[in-house]
Amino acid sequence: MSQLSQLPKIVKYKIQLVRESEFPYTLSEVQYKNLSPRDAYELIEKTLRLSLEPKENFGILTLDIKVRAIGLHIISIGSIGSSVVSPRDVFAAAILNNAAAIILFHNHPSGDPTPSSEDIKVTRSLCDAGKIMGIQVLDHIIIGENRYESLKQSGYF
């Protein structure tokens, strides 16, 4: 029996390549002095199109010291109604991206961006962890169908 026949079966996945020119703009072009919740929503939605995702995707928008976008990171993909978020994973991505601050984001596949009690609890927990890590959590944007909710603007933290 050859060594090749002993290898595990390979599962085929369809991978779609996207040319850089197909993105509406690059993160380096987003030079907002004070990134508003609407600016953050538009950047995230235009780049990742989370409102079309059938499962919850949780991520972070990383920002430099001048509050300019430097990266978008999907941290976890959950089910249609929830996503498990680890502070360790959130801040590992922020540290590796040399972020001074972050904006949390996730989608609600239902289309309704109203925050759940768990959304609020996770946000507050990540804000506390950010204080310890020296990385400020500026907002948490929940993306629904053609609309969003800013937990900061809504007074949840």
Q: What is the pLDDT of residue 18?
A: 47
Which sign does the torsion angle of CA 74, 76, 92, 33 carry? positive
Give the pLDDT means over successive 10-residue stretches in the chain (157 positions). Answer: 56 48 48 79 96 97 94 94 92 97 98 97 98 98 98 95
| 4, two tokens | 């090749």
The tokens of 72 are what?
């978008």
Q: Where are the domains of the chain?
A: 25-150
pLDDT for position 97: 95
pLDDT at 1: 54
CATH topology of domain 25-150: Cytidine Deaminase; domain 2 (3.40.140)
CA pair distance 6, 105, nearest whole angstrom: 43
Q: Look at residue 81 in the predicted model and tell me its pLDDT.
A: 80
Determine the pLDDT at residue 83. 87
Identify whether the C-beta of residue 88 lies closer than 8 Å to the C-beta of residue 44: no
